[in-house]
Amino acid sequence: MTPATPLLPPADWRDFLALTKPRVLTLVVFTGLCGMLAAPVAIHPVLGFTAILCIALGAGAAGTLNQWYEADLDAMMKRTAGRPLPAGRMERQSALHFGVGLGAFSVILMGLALNIAAAAILAISILFYVLIYTVWLKRRTPQNIVIGGAAGAFPPLIGWAAATGEVAVLPLLLFMLVFLWTPPHFWALALFVKTDYANAGVPMLPVVAGEKVTRRQIGLYTIPMALAAVAPWPLGLTGAIYGVASLVLTGWFALLAYRVAVRTTGADDAMLPEKALFKYSILYLFVVFGALVVDRWMA
Ligand code: HEM
Ligand SMILES: CC(C)=CCC/C(C)=C/CC/C(C)=C/COP(=O)(O)OP(=O)(O)O
């Protein structure tokens, strides 16, 4: 008997990897690693490796479940139409099983090998990204990424909690830094891929409120982000290496954000300031978190 819908052949491992959003994952994992290495407790290398693996697997599970839920949206956008589900290279069911299995495994392993605090925050971040951001907010409000973006800010807290079993002021500031960094990071990109989101009916800020408001919001979010980034040194939580690095790197971020904020439509720039800010936003977080670890280790 022929089934009503013919089953696809088993997906390639590369498609499973693509479900985890591996490129975004590199920065998520790096912030988790730095959160762990900045903690005042030296963690056994095997346990440290396990904790980072759990963050990677948990974030991969979150990315997978995001793609499982929004295959319809991804199919409507040029940037995402080639992903395994919208491109028809994989059964939705396989993605769901993979995502749930990976997520459960990461949280259980974190709980067994590290501690309950780290496992609980990991579980919260997966659920936050999948349920709060993807299912609830993304299609409903232009504030989707402000609130939902918290999911991506948890890894430094998870890394710290994995090493110490608790949270503290420094990892909370790192959480705030990533949380407040997310709107400028994403809205800068949304300014130049606006039509994709408009076509898919996703209420991203530039689509709903327009370019001018988005530019102003990028500028506004940069102010508290900068404060969260530079606060650890004056608060005595880091040394001068982090202090100076964060001042210089954040100063450059603020300058790029200012250029985005004041740009008027139709201005003739060699490179769009929003493109420059989006690219720099990624380098920025890598280097600021790297500086934190260097600072800790040199102290
Ligand atoms: C709700 C929050 C966020 C949204 C909506 C968002 C959205 C995006 C989008 C649409 C891209 C372009 C990716 C592509 O071309 O496929 C991107 C790139 C990227 N994002 Fe985010 N992002 C968010 C938060 C984060 C967080 C928290 C991190 C890490 C801490 C992060 C790290 C990256 C990296 C590393 C890239 C570059 C990937 C590449 O090279 O292709 N993002 N982001
Ligand atoms: C530790 C842990 C569980 C972390 C998970 C958090 C995580 C994966 C954060 C990254 C955020 C992200 C890639 C948003 C993309 O938005 P989108 O889904 O709207 O982008 P898209 O249009 O490319 O699908």
Q: What's the whole-number mean pLDDT along residues 104-119? A: 98
User: Does residue 76 sit in the same domain as residue 101?
Assistant: yes
Measured between alpha carbons, how far is 67 from 86 in angstroms, rounded to an integer?
A: 9
User: Does residue 120 sit in the same domain as residue 229?
Assistant: no
Q: What's the whole-number mean pLDDT along residues 87-115? A: 98
Q: What's the whole-number mean pLDDT along residues 119-125? A: 98
CATH number for the domain harbouring residue 27: 1.10.357.140
Q: What's the whole-number mean pLDDT along residues 214-232? A: 98
CA angle centred on 21, ends 109 and 111, rounded to 5°: 10
User: Does residue 184 sit in the same domain as residue 52?
Assistant: no
Which of these ranges, 25-34, 71-80, 144-153, 267-276, has the smallest mean pLDDT? 267-276
* pLDDT tens readout for residues 13-45: 999 999 999 999 999 999 999 999 999 999 999
Asked if 135 contacts 145 with a C-beta cutoff of 8 angstroms, the reply is: no
Q: Which ligand is nearest to the CA of 128?
A: 2
Helix, strand, or coil (residue 5):
coil
Instruction: ipTM value, please give it.
Output: 0.96
Specify the number of domains making up the chain: 2
- Both tokens of 209, joined, read 């409120």
The pLDDT > 70 percentage for the chain reads 98
CA distances from 210 to 30, 149, 203, 240, 276 (A): 33, 20, 11, 41, 20
Please choose, from the candidates 38, 128, 145, 19, the residue with its C-alpha nearest in 3D space to the C-alpha of residue 83.
19
Domain annotation covers residue 173: yes
How far apart are the CA of 186 and the centre of ligand 1, in A? Answer: 7
How far apart are the CA of 27 and the centre of ligand 1, in A? Answer: 9
Best residue for ligand 1 mutational test, from 20, 21, 24 (most atoms within 8 Å of Cβ): 24
Q: Which of 139, 167, 195 is the last residue of a domain?
A: 167
Q: At residue 5, does pLDDT exceed 80?
A: no
Asked if 68 contacts 96 with a C-beta cutoff of 8 angstroms, the reply is: yes
User: Does residue 174 sit in the same domain as residue 291?
Assistant: yes
Domain annotation covers residue 25: yes
pLDDT at 10: 82
pLDDT at 1: 44
Residues with CB under 6 A from ligand 2: 21, 24, 28, 55, 58-59, 62-63, 66, 80, 122, 125-126, 129, 138, 151-152, 154-155
User: Does residue 160 sit in the same domain as residue 248?
Assistant: no
Measured between alpha carbons, how far is 156 from 162 in angstroms, rounded to an integer?
A: 10
Asked if 242 contacts 232 with a C-beta cutoff of 8 angstroms, the reply is: yes
Which of these ranges, 1-5, 23-27, 221-225, has the smallest mean pLDDT? 1-5
pTM recorded for the entire structure: 0.96
Q: Which ligand is nearest to the CA of 62?
A: 2
Locus of tokens 């830094």: 177
User: Does residue 70 sit in the same domain as residue 174?
Assistant: no
pLDDT at 266: 72
| Residue 37 CA, distance from chain mean position | 19
- Tell me which residue range forms the domain holding 253: 168-298
* pLDDT tens readout for residues 248-295: 999 999 999 999 999 987 777 778 999 999 999 999 999 999 999 999
pLDDT at 6: 62
pLDDT at 7: 77
User: Does residue 73 sit in the same domain as residue 212?
Assistant: no
Ligand 2 atom nearest 138 alpha carbon? 19
pLDDT at 268: 73
